[in-house]
Amino acid sequence: MSKISFFSTTDAGSTVISNKFLDEYMPRANGTFVKIYLYLLRCFQDPSLETSLSYLAEKLDETEKDIERAIRYWEKEQLLIITRATNRQITAITFTFPSNDNLNTEENLPSITQEVMEQTAVTKAVAKEPDSPKTTTIHKPNYSEAQIKVLTEMEEVKWIMNTVERLLERLLKPTDVQLILFLYESVGFSAELIFYLYEYCVSKNKRSASYIETVAISWAEEGIDSV
């Protein structure tokens, strides 16, 4: 696992947590996500610290998937800017400290090196290149109780279930569980794409499993399998 570089949009000077983070971001975040964010911040302050996902997982007694999920969460909260290679591997993390405004504009990123900016541009350019059309034939199975039990023991599936439950603002119904497993196992959607799918549908005030499935199949037929 390659080393992850750290950058900041401001010069923090020391490992300091802003009151805004403590008052607004921390209370609504998963405790593990908070722990990981704090240690990432510690790594940013000391370049001599190891920063690979494998080391972070061992250091914090979490899985690499847990580390990646936390990073994705804070990225969504706009407290981190993530630079990824074309294979989606994280190569750099930039902190956008919550005490500042308008941190996502290029003119407010003085601490990011030109190399990282160019790498980000290349990553975005590659992402825009159209893939060859895919022919998608999808069979929707009906998962048995035994299959559901096995699949829902997977850490990534647990994360998807918990996240979707929060987005829907209700407990998952059997049809919801069947759909999530179908998207993950049969359609091959990544956990991030399933999260984005539900977030997109909820933003349109559409929460029914049938509507979400229709959108998902449409995306799959267009060859979309990642964010």
What residue ranges do the domains of the chain occupy? 5-128, 145-221
* pLDDT on residue 48: 65
Q: pTM for this structure?
A: 0.42
3-class secondary structure, 114: helix
3-class secondary structure, 84: strand
Spans in the chain with pLDDT lower than 70: 1-3, 5-15, 47-50, 98-138
* pLDDT on residue 3: 66
Question: What's the CA gap between 189 and 157, in Å, rounded?
Answer: 12
| CATH of region 5-128, choose from 1.10.10, 2.30.30, 1.25.40, 1.10.3470 | 1.10.10
* pLDDT on residue 143: 86
* pLDDT on residue 99: 54
Would you say 5 and 93 are in contact if contact means Cβ atoms under 8 Å apart? yes
Tokens of 141: 């199975």
* pLDDT on residue 197: 92
Q: How far apart are the first and last CA of the chain?
A: 22
* pLDDT on residue 88: 76
> pLDDT tens-digit profile of 123-135?
444 444 444 444 4
Dmax over CA atoms of the chain, in Å, equals 55
* pLDDT on residue 177: 92
3-class secondary structure, 181: helix
